[in-house]
Amino acid sequence: MNIVQWIAAKRDGQRLSDDRIAAIIGGYANGSVPEYQMSALAMAILWRGMDDGEVVALTRAMRDSGDTLSWPDLDCPVVDKHSTGGIGDKVSLILAPLLAAEGLAVPMISGRGLGATGGTLDKFESIPGLTVDLSMDAIRRQVRDVGCVIAGASAEIAPADRRLYALRDVTATVPSIPLITASILAKKLAAGLDALVLDVKTGSGAFMKQPEQARRLAATLVQVASQLGVPTSALVTDMNQPLGRMAGNANEVNESVQVLQGGGPPDVRELTLQLGTELIGLIDAAPSRDVRRGLESSLDSGRAMEVFESMVAAQGGTWSGPLPCAAAHDLPARQAGYVASMDAEQLGWSIIEIGGGRKRLDDSLDRSTGLEMLVRIGDRVERGQPLMRAFCDVAGFERIRDHLYRAVKVVDQECECPRLVIDRVSSAISGEPS
Amino acid sequence: MNIVQWIAAKRDGQRLSDDRIAAIIGGYANGSVPEYQMSALAMAILWRGMDDGEVVALTRAMRDSGDTLSWPDLDCPVVDKHSTGGIGDKVSLILAPLLAAEGLAVPMISGRGLGATGGTLDKFESIPGLTVDLSMDAIRRQVRDVGCVIAGASAEIAPADRRLYALRDVTATVPSIPLITASILAKKLAAGLDALVLDVKTGSGAFMKQPEQARRLAATLVQVASQLGVPTSALVTDMNQPLGRMAGNANEVNESVQVLQGGGPPDVRELTLQLGTELIGLIDAAPSRDVRRGLESSLDSGRAMEVFESMVAAQGGTWSGPLPCAAAHDLPARQAGYVASMDAEQLGWSIIEIGGGRKRLDDSLDRSTGLEMLVRIGDRVERGQPLMRAFCDVAGFERIRDHLYRAVKVVDQECECPRLVIDRVSSAISGEPS
């Protein structure tokens, strides 16, 4: 193989054949393609793009660079959910036990915080004693016994993606739809799924700031996953303000439990129900209204919460009521008016600043810190009314107060709250939005 | 420094400040910037380009990554010439002693064959006993004693370029005007020159196939070299057919000696005189007609040849008449007509195929092989009349015969021979073409 000519072909805007993509990724995984060639190719892919066929080949090659799971001893569908990440997005913590309560198997392989956004694993670990570092055998056993697991990716799953992900991070080759697609799907498809639902975030707190970018990513993800044999739906959802009231670690777990007990903020509950309905719609011909009612009943009856507690216990933790949070500091509005916009990414960086996320890979977290949003976009606020509440020490609040003020824009004119679900892309034949 | 953000800036089409470029190249030279970041940046530069100011900063940083020469004990101008490479281009072998015969100092740092083109060092080494591997001290001494030297680059000259050049070759990041410019000039400007002349080739046997590309490269080279304090001129010259009659190694040395003795093919003599006149015009106010007459006289009187013999002797060789060539095989025209075009690059690959160049870095050369062109574009040919002559063994001729036929297009209509010198770009104030 002559990888230089293949890099040159992509550089010049040509497409790469399936065989060449497989040879490149195989060579990268076994070390015969060095990092410096992979990074040049990644930049050329970012520049020239890839068609859906190329992304399918890339995803397949990355999936097949390591172990793939299968579930011969299960007689229920195996499903998963992935979010591209946003502030306050705790849906995974709710959806995994909720889907398991509906009889599905959910081997949810999750990640740590990335950029300004928190990570499901970091949040879940707020529960005392709980671990997310599980062997493949432990994952299999827990899925069989409890129905769901939330764990970190093992080194055996898609190792080419693990290397490429780290390489892209240090070579400015992250924002490429083909590379993002292959990275997300390689790991998910290696888990042997029967269906997958994706939450593609767009807005000030999302990686994709523009809805059009998010739609393109959603379409590519659904197209590629379907071509690789996994029925997939994606919702494009709003991330112009944090999801729910709470953003942090312990406080997001607390809010998740509220939703699992039938309460919690309406947007978190609604998005959880819509994603769950989408997913079940991919494997079940029942009318989506009935599916949704089933999910609502699982939340309201406490069935989903029971599964959550079993999952926590299986992973070494104990749920004994709301987790403690750091001292609260209110941020009073400096003027009356309407909340026009929020810089949700800035809110995410502020949470990192008070210890809720990492600036460096080896930073340890203070999981008791976070923010509580007391207003939403479109709300009327009076001067002095608290806009939000920070959980942190006094020094931390001093450091972030000005950032928090800058992140919330209050204006004189009335404003509309953005729609929660902006678009839907599905490989299911019945194309009605739920 | 945060090199990832700087790669991202170039990726997004922003310019890099002088300080950032210096930090990146300094870091690359000392090993703190790894190859994989440099290759991603090179691809981003190839994609987005650089303005002249950025190329100046890049060239300066690469020049300053190693030793720079100065010539305190010389009381004559120090000059050099560089060609972007073509088939049969032996001008350096003639111009170095010719300029030295005119009283200039010529520390000519040359290269090996690259792609389809031969290299001055490979050709020069056809002379028995001659070496081009000289220490910096030996180069200094020979310039002082003989006036000229043709030698390979030492590891101390622009080491960042040496690494980047090798990296670009294996990451498909060669064809970028900013990167080519910095690479050519970093080495040349490290030699402490008072003036520089460049031969930017364009056509079927050149790296730049289109005259417009070559013009842009010439303009960038002249602009950047001038801003870094070295008066520079560039001629954009035709490479749609080999220069002169001979292409190979030993046979090119023989043809060079013909020109040094006042004979040789008119195009080789003409290009040598024009490049020499350009160069002297950069440091001497004399009318270019007088300069050209002086150069002609040096060739016709044998003075330039005397310097050539001294240079050969100083580098351990002996000139005792034409070098032997391999057995000759004529290629008769298969039809009558006019020579319309030649694929000069294909002719170059054919020379490599019969041992005149390298397919792999460690190939050894058969310097007695090569081609002799018996027709030029525009010539009338009769059926059976030899188009060219190959110097090689019978098996080699069998391998390349079809390639040679394909490389020469004979048509019914009359054709024009391309102009030798297409354009001129100069930093000299008197802007008249010579």
Whether the Cβ atoms of residue B389 and residue B372 lie closer than 8 Å to each other: yes
Residues of chain B with pLDDT under 70: 1, 428-434
Other beta carbons less than 10 A from residue B10's beta carbon = 26
Whether the Cβ atoms of residue B181 and residue B219 lie closer than 8 Å to each other: no
Chain A residues within 8 A of B28 when measuring between CB atoms: none
pLDDT, tens only, A63-76: 999 998 899 989 99
- Pick from B411, B405, B387: nearest CA to B350: B405
Other beta carbons less than 10 A from residue B204's beta carbon = 20
Q: Which residues pair with A200 in a beta bridge?
A: A236
Single out the catalytic residue among B64, B89, B161, B194.
Answer: B161
Chain B residues within 8 A of A172 when measuring between CB atoms: 4-5, 7-8, 11, 40, 44
DSSP string, A331-383: EE-SS-EEEEEE-HHHHHHHHHHTTSS-SSTTPPP-TT-EEEE---TT-EE-T
Chain A residue with the nearest C-alpha to that of B46? A11
Burial of B401 (0-12, 13-18, 19+ CB in 10 A): middle
B168 flagged as catalytic: yes
Note if the pTM is more than 0.80: yes
Chain A residue with the nearest C-alpha to that of B48? A47
DSSP string, A321-340: SPPP-PPEEEEE-SS-EEEE
Contacts of A285 (CB under 8 A, 6+ apart): none
Chain B residue with the nearest C-alpha to that of A170? B4
Separation CA A268–CA A246 (nearest Å): 10
Sheet holding B232-238, edge to edge: B79-83, B195-202, B232-238, B421-426
Q: Is B47 in Cβ contact with A171 (below 8 Å)?
A: no
Quick one: DSSP state of residue A117? B
What CA–CA distances, in Å, run from A197 to A59, A78, A96, A256, B33? 17, 12, 12, 19, 40
Is B1 at the interface with chain A, CB within 8 A?
A: no
Element housing A314 (H / E) = helix A303-314
A209 flagged as catalytic: no
- Pick from B246, B244, B241: nearest CA to B328: B246
List phi, psi (to 5°) of A42: -60, -40
pLDDT at site A30: 92
Is A33 at the interface with chain B, CB within 8 A?
A: no
Mutate to test the interface with A, among B3, B16, B171 (most CBs of A within 10 A): B171
Q: Which amino acid is residue B53, in one-letter code?
A: G
Q: Which two tokens stand for residue B362?
A: 């460690």
Is A35 at the interface with chain B, CB within 8 A?
A: yes
Question: What's the gap in Å between the CA of B15 and the closest CA on chain A?
Answer: 15
Whether the Cβ atoms of residue A126 and residue A319 lie closer than 8 Å to each other: no
Chain A residue with the nearest C-alpha to that of B2? A170
| Farthest CA pair distance, chain A | 68
Burial B364-384 (b: 16+ CB within 10 A, else e): ebbbbbbbbbbbebebebeee
Chain B residues within 8 A of A36 when measuring between CB atoms: 34-36, 38-39, 167, 170-171
- Match 């330039």 to its residue by tokens: B304
Whether the Cβ atoms of residue B249 and residue B256 lie closer than 8 Å to each other: no
Separation CA A336–CA A338 (nearest Å): 7
Q: Which amino acid is residue B362, in one-letter code?
A: D
H helices present in A172-249, as ranges: 177-189, 211-227
**Dihedral angle, C-alpha A106, A295, A246, A406, nearest 10 °:** 100
Whether the Cβ atoms of residue B344 and residue B270 lie closer than 8 Å to each other: no
Whether the Cβ atoms of residue A401 and residue A254 lie closer than 8 Å to each other: no
Separation CA A185–CA A42 (nearest Å): 17
Residue window 165-194, chain A: list those with CB within 8 Å of chain B.
Answer: 167, 169-173
- Pick from A347, A396, A344, A342: nearest CA to A369: A396
Mutate to test the interface with A, among B5, B6, B11, B39 (most CBs of A within 10 A): B39
Q: Which amino acid is residue B185, in one-letter code?
A: L
Other beta carbons less than 10 A from residue B69's beta carbon = 18
Burial of B412 (0-12, 13-18, 19+ CB in 10 A): exposed
Chain B residues within 8 A of A39 when measuring between CB atoms: 36-37, 39-40, 43
List phi, psi (to 5°) of B314: -65, -25
Other beta carbons less than 10 A from residue A90's beta carbon = 29
Q: Is B11 in Cβ contact with A43 (below 8 Å)?
A: yes
What CA–CA distances, in Å, run from B125 to A105, B147, B365, B372? 73, 19, 10, 20
- Pick from A292, A256, A283: nearest CA to A96: A256
pLDDT, tens only, A397-432: 999 999 999 999 999 999 999 999 999 999 864 344
Separation CA A55–CA A84 (nearest Å): 18
pLDDT at site B432: 41
What CA–CA distances, in Å, run from A361 to A114, A115, A178, B236? 10, 11, 26, 53
Contacts of A232 (CB under 8 A, 6+ apart): A195, A196, A197, A198, A221, A222, A225, A226, A282, A426, A427
Other beta carbons less than 10 A from residue A336's beta carbon = 13
Separation CA A299–CA A261 (nearest Å): 6
pLDDT at site B428: 67
Residues of chain A with pLDDT under 70: 1, 428-434
Long-range pairs of B258-266 with CB within 8 A, sequence gap ≥ 24: B259/B94, B259/B299, B260/B94, B260/B97, B260/B98, B260/B299, B260/B304, B260/B305, B260/B308, B261/B299, B261/B302, B261/B305, B262/B299, B262/B300, B262/B301, B262/B302
